[in-house]
Chains A and B, each alone.
Chain A
Amino acid sequence: MSEREFAKGNSDREQSAEFTPLPTASSSDLDVTDLLDAIDLVLEENAEEFVKGFVQKGGQ
């Protein structure tokens, strides 16, 4: 892939000032709304139980 394909403007970077983290990618990379809708269908329904139940034993 060329350098140019990755050189993107910063115009999308201001959208989430409220949260101040790095924003999500520009819509040309990732259609965020559609994508989140798709991920919603995949995500575990009871996140709290799921996270609580994910317990591992120590490893290397």
Chain B
Amino acid sequence: MSVRRVMGIESEFGISNPKDSSANPMLLSSQVVNAYGNEVMPNRIRRMRWDYDVESPLRDARGFDMSRADADPSQLTDDDYGLANLVLPNGARYYVDHAHPEYASPEVTNPYDAALWDTAGDRIIERSARLASTLTGELITVYKNNTDGKGVSYGTHENYQVLREVPFNDLVKYLTPFFVTRCVFAGAGRVGLGQDIIEPGFQISQRADFFEAEVGLETTLRRPIINTRDEPHADPDQFRRLHVIIGDANMSQKINYLKMGTTAIVLSMIEAGYLKVDFELYDAVTSMHLVSHDYKFETKQRLRDGSEMSALEIQKHYQESAVRFLAETGETDPMSHDVVQQWGRILNSLENDPMSLVNEVDWITKLSVLNGYRNRDQLLWNDSRLAAIDIQFADLRPDKGLARVLQQKGKMDLLFTEEQVAQAVSHPPEDTRAYFRGTCVAKFIDQVAAASWDSVILDLGPDVPLKRISTPDALGGTARATAELFATSSAAADLLANLKQEHVLS
């Protein structure tokens, strides 16, 4: 039982025309996504569509459907409003969602690849904005953050494939304390307290203040700590897809890796029935806000049984359980040991000398820069320059984004070389169905009518009905399974003729 499982990260990016704050964000987002589509897929003869056949955003993991009439319009994601909606050669989905460009990484099988293909998304968005700026003659900038500091938030969502047989209540019980406290190392840092900054100050998380419920289906309003959306994009009898919406967008590649890895190992422990101690919080939503506001680690959280624990104590419990879990299950996977060991090291440093993590942890890097300015220029927390630094930290341009500048100066650790990232921009992971999807797009771009996580739809000509290839198995369609198929299929019609079940089912 390891950190390895099917996973992915989807991010909505902040977008702006700095010269014109009234610019329509849906239009800007469309321009950005289309500019990229036109560059990487110039032979596209038609507008590729997303195949919504199996999307069900109102399906609830607790076992009931919300009626469409009861849903807020922002919850209806399965309508194509004619906005840009692409499937990229690297297997990612790239589209306009709720007035933001969104990059949903291809499915990967481990946290290292999750962070790599997420970083590839950063480069894709940055490249897109540059192309769109040239095309429109207006500067368009993009930000990997989660709030505008004026009451609005947009998400960075993680997805994990989880065994269906695990009772959903176990996920709620054991994930909630973990999620409420995970920001101590995974937070991106934020200037200001409250959704629309009612109080000056600094907090650990971009997202925490926007959470108002413990469990629920929504992602745009009354955001819940545990999201119950249940679209497995896999065999629904075997799997659910846990949709995690509490996280911040990370510029730190290492923290992105550890965020995904620690969550994956906690899920493995829950699946194995290994976690027994229930740290039920008295008020998880309030605790989530308090933990984020407590960057000096001075408070304790109240538990339902009347006792109190600090965020670091709760995290340490999970980390120590993971150490024992790996030992007792005889796990030999080096990545799993690395995740759990680094998690422990970081928790120790947070306890003893948080600033020693300045090269690694987003919120500490950001705080260090902010405190540098505060000390040098005697700034108070409500100074616009500090708010500007907060926003610019997440600017994705290499010469303007503070995190990117720090990374180039060696002040923020990197996990990947730019060559690795460039490879992930144009190539899919080889060990999931993203390989099949991405390779179809790369090889047969003018014949891919639509695609989705679960399908690729081919258009073989005006007199032939569209052909839908189902890809229900995330571990099917790998490079190994399809090498010969693609080698022997020079056109989409050959692919269809040569396609066998074993190509897409593992």
Complex-state Cα separation, A54 to B142, whole angstroms:
11
Query: Which of B83-91, B273-281, B327-335, B347-355 participates in binding chain A?
Result: B347-355
B169 at interface, CB cutoff 8 A: no
Cβ < 8 Å to A, chain B residues 133-157? 143, 147-150, 152-155, 157
Tell me whether A60 and B392 are in contact (CB under 8 A). no
Also in contact, A60 and B12, with CB within 8 A (given A7-B356, A19-B371): yes
Taking CB atoms, residues of chain A closer than 8 Å to B21 are: 52-55
B46 at interface, CB cutoff 8 A: no
Complex-state Cα separation, A51 to B145, whole angstroms:
14
> CB-nearest residue of chain B relative to A58?
B152
B373 at interface, CB cutoff 8 A: yes
CB of A29 to closest CB in B, whole Å: 5
A56 is contacted by which of B97, B100, B352 (Cβ under 8 Å)? B100
User: A interface, by DSSP: helix, strand, loop or mixed?
Assistant: loop
A39 is contacted by which of B25, B157, B352, B369 (Cβ under 8 Å)? B369
Tell me whether B97 and A42 are in contact (CB under 8 A). no
Cβ < 8 Å to B, chain A residues 1-47? 1, 3, 6-8, 10, 12-13, 15-16, 18-19, 21-26, 29-30, 32-33, 35-36, 38-39, 42-44, 47
B41 at interface, CB cutoff 8 A: no
Complex-state Cα separation, A53 to B26, whole angstroms:
16
CB of A8 to closest CB in B, whole Å: 4
Complex-state Cα separation, A15 to B325, whole angstroms:
42
Complex-state Cα separation, A37 to B187, whole angstroms:
26
Tell me whether A35 and B372 are in contact (CB under 8 A). yes
Query: Which of B160-168, B380-388, B453-461, B486-494 participates in binding chain A?
Result: B380-388
> CB-nearest residue of chain A relative to B389?
A43
CB of B152 to closest CB in A, whole Å: 5
Indicate the member of B147, B155, B387 with the most A CB atoms within 10 Å: B387
Chain A interface residue count, Cβ-Cβ cutoff 8 angstroms? 42
Cβ < 8 Å to A, chain B residues 1-30? 12, 14-16, 18, 21, 25-26
Complex-state Cα separation, A7 to B352, whole angstroms:
9
Also in contact, A25 and B356, with CB within 8 A (given A51-B391, A56-B148): yes
A21 is contacted by which of B18, B147, B367, B392 (Cβ under 8 Å)? B367
Taking CB atoms, residues of chain B closer than 8 Å to A15 are: 375
A57 is contacted by which of B25, B219, B411 (Cβ under 8 Å)? B25
Tell me whether B345 and A43 are in contact (CB under 8 A). no
Complex-state Cα separation, A21 to B348, whole angstroms:
20
Tell me whether B392 and A38 are in contact (CB under 8 A). no
Tell me whether A50 and B18 are in contact (CB under 8 A). yes
CB of A47 to closest CB in B, whole Å: 4
Taking CB atoms, residues of chain A closer than 8 Å to B353 are: 7-8, 10, 13
Tell me whether B354 and A22 are in contact (CB under 8 A). yes
> CB-nearest residue of chain B relative to A3?
B345
Tell me whether B358 and A29 are in contact (CB under 8 A). yes
Complex-state Cα separation, A53 to B20, whole angstroms:
8
Tell me whether B384 and A47 are in contact (CB under 8 A). yes
B94 at interface, CB cutoff 8 A: no
Sorted from nearest, which 3 A-B pairs have the closest CB atoms?
A59-B154, A25-B358, A57-B99
B residues adjacent to A (C-beta < 8 A): 12, 14-16, 18, 21, 25-26, 74, 97-100, 143, 147-150, 152-155, 157, 202, 219-220, 245, 295-296, 345, 348-349, 352-359, 364, 367-369, 371-376, 383-385, 387-389, 391-392, 399-400, 402, 405-406, 409, 411
- Residue pairs across A and B with Cβ atoms less than 8 A apart, 5 shown, are A38-B409, A43-B389, A55-B148, A56-B15, A59-B220
